[in-house]
Structure 1
Amino acid sequence: MPIHHNQVEACVDDVISSLNSNIVMGIPLGIGKPVQFVNALYARAKADSSINLRIITALSLERPKPSAGLESRFLEPVFERLFGGYVELDYVQDLKRQKIPDNIEICEFFLKSGSMLANNYAQQHYISSNYTHVARDMIDMGANLLAQQVSQGVYQDKPYLSLSSNTDVTVDLLPLIEQEKAKGRNIKLVAQINQKLPFMLNDALIAPQNFDFIVDNEAYYTPLFSPPNMPVTPVDFAVGMHASTLIKDGGTLQIGIGSLGDAIVYACMLRNTDTEKYQQVLSELGIAGYAQLVEKIGDLTPFKTGLYGSSEMFVNGFLHLIQQGILKRKVYEDVHIQKLINEGRLTEDLKPDHLDALVEVGFLGDIIHAGDVSRAKRFGIFNERVDWSDGQVTLDDRPIGERVRDTELVAQLKAEGLGRQLKQGIVMHGGFFLGPKDFYEALHQMSQDELLSICMTGVGHVNQLMVNEELVVEQRKHARFINTGLMATLNGAVVSDGLDNGKIVSGVGGQYNFVSMAHALPDARSILLIRATRMSKGEVSSNIVFNYGHTTIPRHLRDIVITEYGVADLRGKTDAQVMKAMLNITDSRFQESLLEQAKAAGKIESSYQIPAEFQANTPESINQVIENYRLNGLFPAFPLGTDFTEQELQIGACLKQLKALQSDKMKMFKTLFKAFTDGDHSEQAKPFLERMALVETSSKKEEVEKKLLIHELLEAGLIS
């Protein structure tokens, strides 16, 4: 039985004592970390060098810290709303300063994107591991302590803890821990309760006795980290529109967090609610360039059957797809049921002939056992009047037979024992979640039936086919695994996690898993999204390059690559065909130089010219299409909602303009001159100045900031 504590310090005492001061602790990525316990253990190790502590984790979150000046004035009130009460991880600050004590080691297998490029400690202690291998690697690295934040509740009249946001590695790790314990290895498990976490069901449920220590104190029920939705740019919308055409109704979807994922979700919602307008936008964005591929594997019509989600991350976008009635295709944890549904021989609404089909495929054994009846009732096939006793099926406690070949038995089950609807249908399998405040609130407000349709489980199940392969192949039909990359090469390799100097930007996570799985499933496709260009220090560079010294997805796994300019279908193509397809979705400012490199390397014939229809790939063309439709209410900057007020969105747009000026000193000088010669508009701008605490200024710097803000408000037509 677990030992209960209401103070983390007492739990730390027990952990140190039971592990003899040599601790290798695994903690979840994201919001599953038991912050108060981790901080207490870290503080103890910092104060006592005889304690050896190694932490293995990923995605250690921290409250954003805006730059001084206008950015701070704008964002600090927002961040206080979003992150007020969030308890920070103490080791993160030491990690950022690269001041980790010698007796402590912090290792992460996934980093916040770009946050640790200049941090030598983080770079040196990064663990490169596929998401599905993390549980194994933790055991191999000597993990002897697993600590996790959980919620508690009651399900079917029994008390449970819920792994909630982080079933991802823990579900895979628990059986490995049991195996190690059976060998005599001393491993301890700590649960820290936080009722702010949604009480997720299915595979997230775990009996309290699985833990050695449980910490429960309402003071530790602190707010969850709640990153806001990011704005979606015209480029993002164009990429999302292209990607949405390849998502087949009745198929399977995987997407990630961020503005590109939000753009895909919005495109799917537009396709579902205004198909004519959706197809019109696509025509203007150049769907003609890949129309044959859409006809072959995609769809442009509303989602009648709906989608099923199978993704390592249950993102906010999936919740919106559920709410919009798009993510509604249910899958079942039984291969016989799933096959019959895929063949159209079984539906959610049960009919007598469905029982014949179930008998035919072997759902029930020749002799019906108690387990057969229990399973049939669990899936709703038999109603509550049916049971099993003394070797026979019973109906209202009356024995009616034992063999499925008994026509009278089957007839009675059809007439009186058949359920009305299938149960236990799942619309979403996920490994972890992280999202804005309204995402968590929506999960808290869900009914039990709604929660049962979402199964948080291990990435060992979601990210690969090794767990019950026959079943998951049936579930994941027409799968579209959609991920993002930083760059792509002309030969179809994709760079997603690092740079050619060995620096890690983020981590491979589960991307390789999903790409590999797309090639293994019979009708699946891997779709990798790349923004065609990037801006750095005022200079534009192409994200489509001839070659690069680091790849995440190798060329032999190339499949589909999408930029804002269209879709490149690379699977099964020759190198020359691949390079020509990649050039077609490259920004036109870089097409000729890349083509010359390909010709010089002998990969494309010297006479080849890029087709005229692909030579107008410019940002202006994309912006014009999206902005024209924005005037009619489409493509809002925050399609899935925002935590910013309307006034804050207006101020934010002004600050974005000012930030863009910083790369051009002459333009900034001209803007400053105008700002100080515009006249006095302080009274008209007062509501905005009050929000920015700039009604009164106390320095020349603040006065300049005030003038610049008023100027941009004038330019935007927000004041006159």
Structure 2
Amino acid sequence: MNHYSYVSPAEAVRHIESHERVFIQAAAATPMPLIEALAQRASELEDVHTIHMHLEGKTFPLVEPEARHAFFPNAIFIGSSLRKAVAEGYAQYLPIFLSEVPNLFRNRIWPLDTAIVQVSPPDQHGYCSLGTSVDVSRAAVESAKKVIALVNPQVPRSHGDGIVHVQQFTAMSYVDRPLYEHELSRPTDVESAIGRNVAGLVEDGACIQMGIGGIPNAVLLYLENHRDLGVHTEMFSDGLLPLVHKGIITGKHKKIHPGKIVSSFAVGSRKLYDFIDDNPGVSMLDIGYVNDTAIIRQNPKVTAINSAIEVDLTGQICADSIGTRMYSGVGGQMDFIRGATLSQNGKAIIAIPSVTNRGESKIVPLLKQGAGVVTTRAHTRYIVTEYGVADLYGKNLAQRAKALIHIAHPDHQEALEEAAFDRLQQMRY
């Protein structure tokens, strides 16, 4: 610890009053000690609205029975700790492109009274870093009337837009505890097959965007024979590190921030956080910039790899709900699909297993009733499963259906063909 004045989490959150709107930093930087302390004040507060991206942790204290009467969370992206609360009405989902969230705060469409963040310790000049989650947190810190900071020496000091001076903090609390970690798992056979098919679409010199999980990690495993890849992505995880260390990711062909990994937030292991720490090769920037289509498209060969819950036979993509039940969020999928499509020789890819864990086809005749269309059929380009690649660009509805059925699970192809005929009347190509 240094010479700055720190208070307990309980004392820090006493600055929050009833009827406030409170931003909470999310992902690996979720400031759980402050959230827990705030939940303890449930008997003193009422009508406190919170807003945040996906919060890590098995539970979210503000929606527990003893606290939910005082707090109402608003999720920009729904994590596992909030799905039940959203389904039961104790929290709400706020649909919005991630690129547009900073404007909610800066333009006071969602005015913030307080922002709660977790930061690295102040340097000799009094500057802290937002570490692994600059994303929408930068705009929240700029816009909030009060900022409560959880100072943690285990938060990496990232370069980019996340530098904040202690003078901006209303109160500071201190902890020394590990950030949330998400370890890489070995890809399944299906994920490996999808990864191989996606990697076949990635060209040397491409600028890639991908998220976290089995499929993105599998894709990265199959990129080890590629050359001079770049990275401009809203988030990244450990899967990139071997490609950096082997000299495959160089960023030499990027037009925007050449030579640098550009991202907005990161979730992974301690090894990943150590890689970010004081690394000038990694720029953690405001998500309003990182996800701006006008910025993304300036890099050549942008290859955006995203996922979906289901895809219908015309190419409509649902990625945020299972029928009417909200599951995740819009996120940055459309930001990057459009940015990649507009990039010179860019590719927008949706990578999915052919079936769900229950054996149901993820390529469907019709989206479930109430399902949200995150990516329209006009925006959709490549769909990839373990059975191959469907390129939908320039294809009519019947041709799209034929291409999608070809990469569906064989057990479902006959039913899909019958449904396609019924829907499209005749399958002339």
Flag whether TM exceeds 0.5 (same fold). Answer: yes
SS at match of 2:132: coil
Structure 2 residue 269 is matched with structure 1 residue 436: yes
Determine which of 22, 27, 31 is the counterpart of 1:30.
27
The corresponding residue for 1:143 is 112
2:191 — aligned with what? 236
What's the counterpart of residue 48 of structure 1? 44
After TM superposition, give the deviation of residue 601 of structure 1 in Å. Answer: 2.5
- Is 1:91 aligned with 2:62? yes
Whole-angstrom CA distance in 2 between matches of 1:567 and 1:58: 32
Quote the Cα distance in structure 1 between the aligned partners of 2:119 and 2:179: 12
Give how far 1:465 is off. 3.0
Match of 1:131 among 76, 79, 98: 98
Counterpart amino acid of 2:284? M
1:61 aligns to 2:62 (yes or no) = no
C-alpha offsets along residues 394-415 of structure 1, whole Å, 9 cap, x if unaligned? xxxxxxxxxxxxxxxxxxxxxx
* Deviations 1:333-375, CA, capped at 9 Å, x for gaps: xxxxx49xxxxxxxxxxxxxxxxxxxxxxxxxxxxxxxxxxxx
Give the match for residue 238 of structure 2: 316
Of residues 310, 322, 328, the one that matches 1:487 is 310
Paired residue secondary structure (1:228): coil
* Aligned equivalent of 2:11: 10
Amino acid of the structure 1 residue aligned with 2:120: S
2:309 paired with 1:498: no
Aligned-pair CA distance for 1:99: 5.3
What is the CA-CA distance between 1:527 and the residue it aligns to?
Answer: 0.1
Pairs within 5 Å for 1:9-408: 9-13=10-14, 15-16=15-16, 21-44=18-41, 46-49=42-45, 51-63=46-58, 90-91=61-62, 94=64, 100-112=67-79, 116=83, 120-121=87-88, 125-138=92-105, 139-154=108-123, 158-174=125-141, 177=143, 187-215=145-173, 217=174, 220-269=175-224, 272=225, 302-303=226-227, 306-330=228-252, 338=255
In structure 2, the partner of 1:657 is: none
CA contact (8 A) 2:60 2:82 kept: no
Which has more radius of gyration?
1
Q: CA deviation at 1:114?
A: 9.4
Give the Cα–Cα distance (whole angstroms) in 1 for the partners of residues 172 and 84 of structure 2: 37
**Residue in 2 aligned with 1:389?**
none
- How far off is 1:89 after superposition? 5.1
Q: Contact 2:97/2:335 (CA < 8 Å) preserved in 1?
A: yes
Unaligned runs of 5+ in 2: none
Aligned to 1:560: 382
Q: Deviations over 1:269-299 (max 9, x none)?
A: 2xx2xxxxxxxxxxxxxxxxxxxxxxxxxxx
Identify if the C-alpha distance between structure 1 residues 105 and 311 changes in structure 2 by more than 3 Å, giving closer, same or farther. Answer: same
Structure (1 or 2) with the greater helix fraction: 1
Letter in 2 for 1:200: S
- Of 391, 416, 420, the residue aligned with 1:598 is 420
Q: Could you tell me which amino acid in structure 1 is paired with residue 230 of structure 2?
A: Y
Q: Is the 8 A contact 2:73 2:91 kept in 1?
A: no
Are residues 570 and 204 of structure 1, via their aligned partners in 2, closer, same or farther at CA, if it must alter by over 3 Å? same
The 8 Å contact of residues 114 and 506 in structure 1, kept in 2 or not, is answered as no
Q: State the 1:315 CA deviation.
A: 1.5
Shift of 1:119: 5.5
- Would the aligned equivalents of 2:56 and 2:81 in 1 still touch at CA under 8 Å? no
| Unaligned residue ranges in structure 1 (runs of 5+) | 64-87, 178-185, 273-301, 333-337, 340-423, 609-720
In structure 2, the CA distance between the partners of 1:603 and 1:572, relative to structure 1 (3 Å rule), is: farther
Where do residues 698-717 of structure 1 align in structure 2 (5 Å cutoff)? none
Quote the offset at 1:103 in angstroms.
2.7
Residue 260 to residue 123, structure 1, CA distance change in 2 (3 Å): farther
Distance in 1 (alpha carbons) for counterparts of 2:85 and 2:145: 35
Deviations 1:148-182 (A, max 9, x none): 0000254xx6442011111000234455x2xxxxx
How far, CA to CA, are the matches of 1:202 and 1:541 in structure 2?
A: 43
1:120-150 C-alpha deviation (Å, 9 max, x unpaired): 3357512222212223335423321111000
How far is the alpha carbon of 1:496 from its aligned partner?
A: 1.3
Higher relative strand content: 2
Kindly state the Cα deviation for residue 331 of structure 1 after the two structures are TM-superposed.
6.9
Residue 505 to residue 21, structure 1, CA distance change in 2 (3 Å): closer
Distance, in Å, in 2 between the alignment partners of 1:533 and 1:252 is: 29
Distance verdict in 2 for CA 1:599–1:90, change over 3 Å:
closer
- Rounded Cα–Cα distance in structure 2 between residues aligned with 1:36 and 1:61: 13
SS in 2 for 1:141: coil
Q: For 2:425 and 2:13, how far apart are their aligned partners in 1?
A: 61
Q: Is the 8 A contact 1:426 1:454 kept in 2?
A: no
Q: How does 1:622-641 map to 2 (within 5 A)?
A: none
Distance across 1 between alignment mates of 2:423 and 2:170: 62
1:525 aligns with 2:353: no
Equivalent-residue separation in structure 2 for 1:111 and 1:529 (angstroms):
21
With over 3 angstroms needed to count, the CA separation of the structure-2 counterparts of 1:510 and 1:525, relative to structure 1, is: same
Offset, 1:461 = 1.2
* CA-to-aligned-CA distance 1:313-335 (integer Å, 9 cap, x gap): 12111222212211112478xxx
In 2, Cα distance between the equivalents of 1:532 and 1:4? 55
Number of residue pairs matched by the alignment: 421
CA distance in 1 between partners of 2:34 and 2:169 (Å): 15
Distance 1:41 1:99, change over 3 A: closer
Assess, with a 3 A threshold, how the Cα gap between structure 1 residues 57 and 493 changes in structure 2: closer, same or farther: same
3-state DSSP of counterpart to 1:11: helix
Counterpart CA distance in 2 for 1:101 and 1:118 is 9
Q: How far is 1:457 from its partner?
A: 0.7
Q: Structure 1, residues 428-478: CA drift from partner, whole Å, max 9, x if none?
A: 11111111233234445xxx5xx1010001111111235xx4xx543x210
Rounded Cα–Cα distance in structure 1 between residues aligned with 2:10 and 2:380: 51
Amino acid of the residue matched to residue 112 of structure 2?
Answer: A
8 Å Cα contact 1:426-1:452 kept in structure 2: no
Identity of counterpart residues, as a percentage?
24
Over 6 Å off, 4+ runs: none
**Letter of the aligned partner of 1:488 in structure 2?**
V
- How far, CA to CA, are the matches of 1:26 and 1:124 in structure 2? 14
Aligned equivalents of 1:119, 1:425: Cα separation in 2: 41
1:589-636: CA deviations, max 9, x gaps? 111221122122235437x8xxxxxxxxxxxxxxxxxxxxxxxxxxxx
Distance (Å, rounded) in 2 between the aligned partners of 1:190 and 1:558: 42
TM, length-normalised to structure 1: 0.55
SS of 2:311's equivalent in the other structure is strand
Name the CA distance, whole Å, in 2 between partners of 1:231 and 1:562.
20
CA contact (8 A) 2:20 2:48 kept: yes
SS at match of 1:440: helix
Alignment-mate amino acid for residue 41 of structure 1: L
Amino acid at match of 1:321: L
The amino acid across from 1:103 in the alignment is A
User: What is the DSSP-based 3-state SS (H/G/I as helix, E as strand, rest coil) of the residue aligned with 1:481?
Assistant: strand
Alignment of structure 1 residues 544-583 onto 2, 5 Å: 544-548=363-367, 549=369, 550=371, 551-583=373-405
Moved more, 452-461 or 548-557: 548-557
Query: Residues 565 and 115 (structure 1 numbering): CA distance in 2 closer, same or farther, change over 3 Å?
Result: farther
Query: Does the 8 Å contact 2:112/2:140 carry over to 1?
Result: no
